[in-house]
Structure 1
Amino acid sequence: MAKRKNKRKSADYVHSKKESVKSKNVMNPFEIHVNKEKLRVLGKKQKNDRGVPGISRAKAIQKRKHTLLKEYKGLHKSNKFMDKRIGEKNYIMTNEDKSMARFTAVRVKAHNKKSIFNLADDEVLTHKGQTLSEIEKFEDPRSDDESLDDENVSGNLDQQFVADAHFGGGVLKNTGKEGAKTHKELIDQLIAESKKRKAEKQKTKEATLELTEKLDSEWKDLLPIVNPSKKVEEEVNKSKVDDYDKVMRELKFEARGTVSDRLKTEDEIVKEEKEKLEKLEQERVERMRGDLKQSISKPNHRSADDLEDDFVYESDPEYMLSYNKEGETNVQIDAEINGVIITQNNESEVEVSQKNSGDRSDEDEEPEIDSEDNLSDLKDGDSESESDIEASIATGKNELENRDIKNEEVLKVNNDRRSDIKEDKSLQDKIKDDLLKRKEVMEQARKELPYTFTLPESYESLQKTFENQSSSHQNVIIERMIKCNHPSLAEGNKENLGLLFAYLLQYVNDLFEDVTDAESIKNSFEIFSALIPQIYDLAQLNPENAHHSVLEVMKEKQGEYRKKPKEHPGYEILAFLKLVSSLFPTSDFRHQIVTPCFVFIEQMLTKCKVKCKRDISYGLFLSTLILEYTVISKRYLPAVIIFLTGILHMAVPKSKPKLIKILPPFKATASDLVLLENYSLGSFKSLHLDSKDLVNDDISEEYKVRVLYVALKLLEEFYNNLKELSSSIEIFNPVLRYLDMIPTCNYPREIKTCLEDLTNTLRNGKVNKKLNYIIMAAERPKALRLYEPKIEEVYDGKRYKKQSKVKAERDKMLHKLKKETKGALREIRRDKAFLGRIKINERIQSDKERKDKVKRLYAEAAMQQSELNSLDRKRKKK
């Protein structure tokens, strides 16, 4: 067996191959051309001192082959492939942009090709309630061959006529008559029979269609009677639609916006809202006046084919017109029936009494109604009407006696009038019911809030508007004021809304100054929370005015606080501080309003004494505000941690010999929050503080539990907010010490769990925190002192003209133009030389091919001649 050779290449072979590759990249010294200079300048860098003309020439020729040669070969040829697709030569457009541009071009092209007489695409033509697409189905159940089977109805030529006309007849046929029919007579007979058969065919077709339509209509009427049970079974077997399917169908058939739907501007939206409120206010005023047109429901839509088969005449006397024996109608004078007001110049005595008992006073017809109707006129309507009628009868008697009228005629008239009174009692009851209904609508309209409001001219008018209004109603009032007086509707509205913002600040201030008990403070906070959204909207409409107004208020409150720095100020400070966090950004490093508020809160937490329940709740409210202010900026305020630590200190039991140190304003002996009763098995609905806790009452055991829970939760939130600081362990180290001192035996399970979690969190943070020793920064090494180099100007032998900057720039551009022109001419010459060489080569190639063809023809001719010569020699031999 032969030994297999090792295919692995030696290291020497690989090394030699690498050297050969490197040698290819090395320039051939014989191809390098050295450009000599006339004047050699020392130290001057030369860019073009060496060149490689062979390689440069080869590159230029290769470039011309790819550009100029291709253009030359495609010259005078029409079979080029030009890619004219939209966006194909635009490298910036993406594939999606290209497809959209092409789709748009196709749609525009199709749109331009449409005729101007074509109908619009969105118009649907109907006939008898059906669209043309539904009608034009061409579903005729009859076959086209039915008419061909009946020879009498068919319009074709019969067999006898064809036999006579084409296959005989004429003089040779025995017709039984004298002479034979001519060709003209036959044609006339053919035309008459054909018309007759076509008329019969059309008549039969119309009769068939009428019968078919009649059968279809009768069948549709019989369908519900034929199979009612099947429909019920289908409804029973039909499964209930799932909620998911309902939502899916709603989304499927939801109206989609088109490109033509324009979004409304902010001014248009505001204008529409104002018009809507004005319309609602007009309807409310009409209801207050007793106009019940709005309450009458609109009739349902009726089509043009409605024959009013379901019309029923009303038996109500208000709509049924009737007359009594004296020819008087039962319709009330000045009543409105179907939009028409009934009037009469000469009112009868009975109608006058009905009008006096049923009409409203002039004050009720005014839009502003202050007096209320007690319906006393409706209660005594019957007695008044009878008494009026009896009085009218008495006066009639006196007049008749004075005029010497007979007693019999007088008695007859009186009896007729008494019979009319009985007949009109039902009408009076109907009028009473209508008036009661109208009265209810009017009272309901009076209780409704107006839909349009004018801006208050003074603070007193705003107070009058808010008087006896709930928090939700006050919110709606301010909202409607803003909508009806938006800055885009009139020029002076922006300044007036600024005044309204200032009035609202004053209203909030007065709202919390009048707080006396727990119910009033709760009501004040409810109204304040309802007004905050509208105050925010006003601040956005006029930011400069809002900024200035709030700043002035805070300056004023700060000045009042400085008079008594050791006592907590009023509750209005809490409202304004909460309002600042809603109106302005609290995460800025420096803000003209928020930053002074930080200082103000820190002063109150540091200097105000903590003695009673109100002080503790007040401080916890301020701590919550600080957490809200710093949740984004992660800012650290020492006063908050000190206050919360003091709350924990007050919950630690103390003995006289051993006192625990604490920072002011807390005292070392304070133990007001120590829990004395056992709540370990108790349950609380809510452990959070309420607005009622701000009232100064006695500290209860339940309140101690809730205060400790709130303090622990705030400390937990502050630790999560500040744990990224390098000094977080030192900040919360006192908190951990006080947490260990609080006895948890009497507290509920929620408090124990919260306290243990906070303690474990602080300890774990202390263990995991690594302290880095402070090291002084290393000093940079000083550099050695060096002498500054002496720079001298070197004369390069060129002289430059002293000229202006513009002229120098122009000369520079002319020089560049001249240089580029020379380069362009040189390239044109080289291109012409390249094309000349290509043409010469083509000419030489074509000449060579022509010579080869000529030689081939001569050779073929010589072979043919030799064959002819050989044939001639053979003939001669024979």
Structure 2
Amino acid sequence: MPPSQLKRLKASLREQGIIGPQQSKKQKKHNAQNGVTKEKRVHRTVALNGIREQFNPFEFKALSRKPKFEVTTEHAAKSVIRRPGVQKSQEEEMRRQAYLEEQQRRHKVGGIVDKRFGENDPSMTPEEKMLERFTREKQLRHKRSTFDLEDEDTPGELTHMGQSLSLDGPALVDDFDEKDLELSDADDHLSDEERQARKRRRSELEDEEDEEDDSGDRPERKKSKQEVMKELIAKSKLHKYERQAAKDDDEDLREQLDKEMPNIHELLRGIAPKRPTAPPADIPGMNPDRAALLNRTDKVKFDKEYDLRLRQMAQDKRSKPTEKSKTEEQVAEETARKLQVLEAKRLRRMQGAPESSDEEKEKGAEPDDEDEEDDFGLGDGIKIRPTMAELGVEDEDDFLIDDDLVASGSDAESVDDSDNEKENDSDDGEEDEFVKGLLTEEEAKRPEFLTGANAPIQEVEEPASNGINGDLAYRFNCPQSHDELLEITEGVNILDLPTVVQRIRALYHPKLRSENKGKLTKFSVSLVDHISYLANQEHGPPFVVLESIIRHIHSLAKTFPVEIANSFRRHLKELDTSRALSLTPGDLVLLTAVGTIFPTSDHFHQVVTPAVLTMGRYLGLKIPQILSDFATGAYLCTLCLQYQKLSKRYVPEVVNFIENALCALAPTKLAEIPGYFPYHDPKSSLRIESAPTSTRQLRFYDCVAQDLSEEEGELLKAAIVEMNLRLLDSAAETWKAKDAFTEVFVPALEIMRHLSSKKCRSKLAESTQKLLTKVSQKLTLLLSQARLARRPLELHHHRPLAIKTSIPKFEESFNPDRHYDPDKTRTEAAKLKKEHKREKKGAIRELRKDAKILATQSLREKKERDVAYEKKYKRLVAEIQGEEGREAKAYEREKDWRKKGKK
């Protein structure tokens, strides 16, 4: 059995001589004198360290691996020895210090420690603190070196060629120490004699210096400041003189060229200049006619050519001011002013008053101007491009100009004195062309709305006929409600209504007054109400008038979109709550206006979406009982298809209503209704009884219930059937790209086949039969194409993936214990997981160490608090006991004293 640790320790101490027999005093004294004791002390320390390392092998740990590359160097590589115990104790100490710092910072706000110099020193004033801080900062930034010129303690002195470079030496003189700068009051105010004497001396000195310079190569004398300034002034004057001379030369050259310019012009025109030299007719090779002209031999020909060129110059077209020079406000004011003049003339004509002398003068002056233009040969100019009317293109701000349509403009100034204070300004720049109206027929033939230098001058003349009756007013008040609009247009012919609207918009141009915007806002809302009102009248207006007003609303909607949209929404809400399944002509006109004013291709629109829902509700829920219901449904189907012209969204109610209408109006009833659409059979039979002799188109006012004769009823039925066939054709063209095209239009094809049968075909008109054949063929073709282009449903559509294969790789250092994965992604993921696991274990280990330190420090603090508490408790108990003992002894003494006193 090996010896114990204690025996081994004693043996090691004995072997090293640390313990042994005791020495006598004489030996100790002798060893101390010879230094043996000091050597033994050093040897003892080394021996003890060796014994510690020998008896604690876990305290020292060498590296498990050698260096990867063995490098031979001058110095041998030292073996690295780690001390886990020491490192562990250091880590624990560091954690303990961190814990103490954290405990000290606990319950403290802010982590900024003010370490500025003198901040916590109350004895220093703020000026002293700032001065000391500035000094410390300069000292820290200043880097001292051997050649620091500002360092007073630098040994030696900088020299150059044996001469000192110090500023204190006599060799260098400061510029401010020159003698010529030191002037006294007497020098500043010299007399004339002294100045002359100084000049003579200075000139003599300069002559001597020049002689010395010529005699020898001596360095130049340093110039004084006065000489330098004189030299600068002289140079400046020299440069100025040179510039002036160059300018004079240029002026002389320019004048010479100007003098020769007439001769150049004469040569260009073929006229001989006046020259004193010999005539150039003798020049060889010159044209004889030109030589004769230069010699002035053909005077008659020269005069004729002069007259010809003068006439050509007179016939050149004069420049005219363009519209670009006028702002929008100026154009609007001019338009309004012209309307005022026209209205004043109209009122004078109605009252029979004679025209004023100023007007007669103007009328008399106009022909003179025209004659003058004719004298100079001025005309309308070259027509650059055709007008919009000739192209047949119309816009909501670009109306065709007729005799009864004076103004195609938008807005201008109000001229009514009562309304002058209520007009508005607007930023709408798209109504400029609308304002440029008020053109006469003669001006309408010119290029319209030209800009730039080719723009025609817009001159407004009184039209030949003003309205239908020729007495239409030029000025109207701006109505603020529908009732006011009815009052204003009470005596106006319905065909003059677009002209009235145009003139109101021209008079109340938003650019003229700030109140006009509010007026036009209410006016636009009243126009929305008015189109519904007009369409609901017993004798409805022509569609031309309604279309013109809708185009005006479209133009106003660019400036007032919110107000007009809210007006349409109000009408749609009223329609939905009161008459959703019994629409009036006014409602149909409003729905038509919505489709032309607002974008119907939007996925969601605050006006279009409610309108589409309203039409879908009627088409889906209405059970037609009379022919006007079928006409209304056909009109709404047309509107739905127009709404979906761009977006091509499917509206199922449209196809369902068309199929219902064809089934209900078919001459014979179908044995079985094809498809799954809801079919509603009307209560009374509306089927076609006989083929009409003639056909007609479906009209708008067929949507109103009327008492029709049998012949008119048959014509209307045939018109409704033809209209539904056309709608079916348009719907197929619109939705032919849909995946469900086959399911939607197969029932329609079955219905058309039933109409093409012998029982039904004989009762249809010839035009209806031709249209039925055409639509059936087209629908059959589209259905066959849809079936060919249709693909079965599939979950995923991608190319088939090949089976993953791995090419074997030869590894030179193959290890069967190691895992080789050919998938790099999986390998990287495994490495990442392993690293994450290692980091997680390390983090847990660190947290445990922190928790251990926290527990140790908490226990230590608790023990210290307990010890302090116990000590305080014992001190207090001892004090109490001592006080009680003193009181008890005093009581005993008092008691004994009293007993003695009684005795």
Q: Same fold (TM over 0.5)?
A: no
Coarse TM-score class (shorter-chain normalised): 0.3 to 0.5
Structure 2-normalised TM-score?
0.42
Structure 1-normalised TM-score?
0.43
Q: Larger C-alpha radius of gyration, 1 or 2? A: 2
